[in-house]
């Protein structure tokens, strides 16, 4: 899938032949706050939105962004990876970053009228968003 390749490129993997274990290692190691900031900008949300969607306190994010080269904790990194996976999957489905970002920020009937990004604070919510994206990709009514 194109989304896997884009995810690999974004996180700096040398090959698109990545496995879930590569992301486990990355989560344990932590990504830099500057990479998270790049992701937030690419999704077209702001720091406060990401804090609300991820459940990470805004003040914690501010401290991370203030320190050059600051690494996120494994929990924070996992939430960033979750956002990236959903974002790149939606780009793959909609064919355009702007359309994907717009879809992620609007309430969706198939998601119980929730905003897709608002469900990313849990694995179950992220699974539901991925499920709807899969149905859209396959042309199944959502």
Angle (nearest 5°) at CA 32 between 115 and 103: 20
Please report the pLDDT score of residue 2 as a whole number.
77
Give the three-class secondary structure for 100. helix
Q: What is the pLDDT of residues 75-127, one digit of tens each?
A: 999 999 999 999 999 999 999 999 999 999 999 999 999 999 999 999 999 99
DSSP states of 20-65: HHHHHHHHHH--BHHHHHHHHHHHT--HHHHHHHH---HHHHHHHH
Q: How confident is the model at residue 141 (pLDDT cuts 50, 70, 90)?
A: low
Please report the pLDDT score of residue 23 as a whole number.
92
Contact 105, 117 (CB under 8 A): yes
Please report the pLDDT score of residue 142 as a whole number.
56
Mean of all residue pLDDT scores within the chain: 92
Angle (nearest 5°) at CA 83 between 56 and 12: 110
Phi then psi dihedrals of residue 102, to 5 deg: -60, -45
108: left (phi over 0), alpha (psi -120 to 50) or beta: beta
Mean pLDDT of 66-72: 84
User: What is the spatial distance between Cα 28 and Cα 31, in angstroms, rounded to a whole number?
Assistant: 9
Flag whether pLDDT at 38 surpasses 80: yes
This prediction's pTM: 0.92
User: What is the spatial distance between Cα 58 and Cα 93, in angstroms, rounded to a whole number?
Assistant: 30
């Amino acid at each position: 899938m194109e989304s896997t390749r884009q995810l690999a490129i974004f996180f700096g993997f040398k090959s698109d032949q990545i496995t879930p274990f590569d992301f486990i290692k990355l989560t344990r190691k932590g990504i830099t706050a500057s990479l998270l900031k790049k992701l937030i900008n690419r999704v077209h949300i702001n720091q406060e939105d990401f804090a609300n969607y991820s459940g990470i306190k805004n003040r914690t994010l501010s401290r991370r962004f203030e320190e050059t080269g600051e690494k996120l904790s494994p929990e924070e990194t996992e939430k960033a990876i979750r956002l990236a996976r959903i974002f790149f999957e939606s780009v793959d489905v909609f064919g355009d970053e702007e359309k994907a970002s717009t879809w992620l920020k609007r309430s969706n009937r198939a998601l119980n009228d929730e905003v897709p990004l608002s469900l990313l604070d849990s694995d179950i919510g992220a699974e539901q968003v991925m499920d709807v994206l899969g149905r859209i990709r396959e042309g199944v009514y959502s």
